[in-house]
Structure 1
Amino acid sequence: MASSDFRKINIDQYDEDQLLEEELYEADPRDPATVLADAKSKAAGVRGLIAKGDLGTALNSVLENAPYGPKVDDAKILTLQTLLLILNSTKPAEIPTRVKALSSDCQDTLMKYLYKAMAMPGYADVNSSALLSWHEKLTEVAGIGCIVRVMTDRKTV
């Protein structure tokens, strides 16, 4: 055995108390194909609502029942793209009204998506100034508690 072979051993496989991601929270009860189909139908519905100018309903529909957990990455990305379309379509003066109309759960979900979008540098759909405006207005309405709940929640979007 060479002197560097020990570095290639995964010692976590021998740990009896290893915590798996699936044990941290309950997974989305829907199967991944259903979650993706729901995300696609929401995206189509949101495009229609944006065309009509009904951004409040579009925002609510995206944030309610958002996909979470492992194995639904395609649905998460599609939902993020749909949400970014709404955020970029909203005028800055309308942001506080839109945020106040959301439930506290939807506000927390929106904050999760804002942080996810901010973590994607160079992503074509991300308008950083719009994200920062939404973050500012959301923090004013929902308070610092919203940020704390998002940072400590194990359900990632």
Structure 2
Amino acid sequence: MSFRKIDIDAYDEDVLLESELYEPDPRDPAQALSDAKQKQVVVRSALAKGDIPGALDIALDSAPYGPNVEEAKNLTLQTVVSILNSTKSSEISNVVKALSQDAQDTLMKYIYKGMGMPGWGDVSGSVLLGWHEKLTEIAGTGCIVRVMTDRRTV
């Protein structure tokens, strides 16, 4: 029965490691956190001016991904969620249309991350589902497929 405790992957040369699937975030954890904090300040300023597309674009630009940057990921999620919560449902389509395809894909990652949180965190399910519906209408199902197959998780 001791053979069942052997890690056979250790002997396989063709094992694909998580680190081989994508380039890691080039920033160190402290730099990623600092960038996230700076973005949060700029986003709040943009929201105060009523510039929701600009605020969302700033928050989604160069989002932290990969291991060791959990604090920056969580802060960026909070920033994105604050934008989603402060947007009227009638404005969502225009905001999504103003985003680039990469930004739309990153937004979808954050929507899914928000849905995956226990109790949905600080955001109501109806807000996330409303954004998901509009984003899927505009970006298409390809957006969902790209997010599901991308290993760079936010």
- What TM-score do the two structures reach when normalised by structure 2? 0.92
Aligned counterpart, 1:139: 136
2:9 corresponds to which of 9, 12, 36: 12
| SS of residue paired to 1:90 | coil
**Superposed CA offset, 1:50-78 (max 9, x none):** 22222111100001111111211111111
TM-superposed deviation, 1:121? 2.7
**Superposed CA offset, 1:111-137 (max 9, x none):** 111111111131431211000000000
Aligned counterpart, 2:22: 25
Structure 2 residue 96 is matched with structure 1 residue 96: no
Aligned counterpart, 1:86: 83
Structure 2 residue 74 is matched with structure 1 residue 43: no
Q: 1:49-60 maps to which residues of 2 (within 5 A)?
A: 49-60=46-57
Further displaced range: 107-116 or 120-129: 120-129
Identity %: 67
Query: Does structure 1 conserve the Cα–Cα contact (< 8 Å) formed by 2:114 and 2:121?
Result: no
Aligned counterpart, 2:67: 70
Hey, what's the Cα distance between the residues in 1 that align with 2:128 and 2:134?
10
| SS of residue paired to 2:118 | coil
Instruction: Return the letter of the residue paired with 1:33.
Output: A
Query: Does structure 1 conserve the Cα–Cα contact (< 8 Å) formed by 2:60 and 2:107?
Result: yes
Aligned counterpart, 1:113: 110
Runs of 4+ in structure 1 off by over 6 angstroms are none
| SS of residue paired to 2:122 | coil
Hey, what's the Cα distance between the residues in 2 that align with 1:139 and 1:49?
25
Question: Unaligned regions of 5+ residues in structure 2, if any?
Answer: none
TM-superposed deviation, 1:110? 0.5
Give the length in aligned residue pairs: 154
TM-superposed deviation, 1:32? 1.8
Question: Unaligned regions of 5+ residues in structure 1, if any?
Answer: none
What's the RMSD between the two structures over aligned residues?
1.5
Further displaced range: 137-146 or 123-132: 123-132
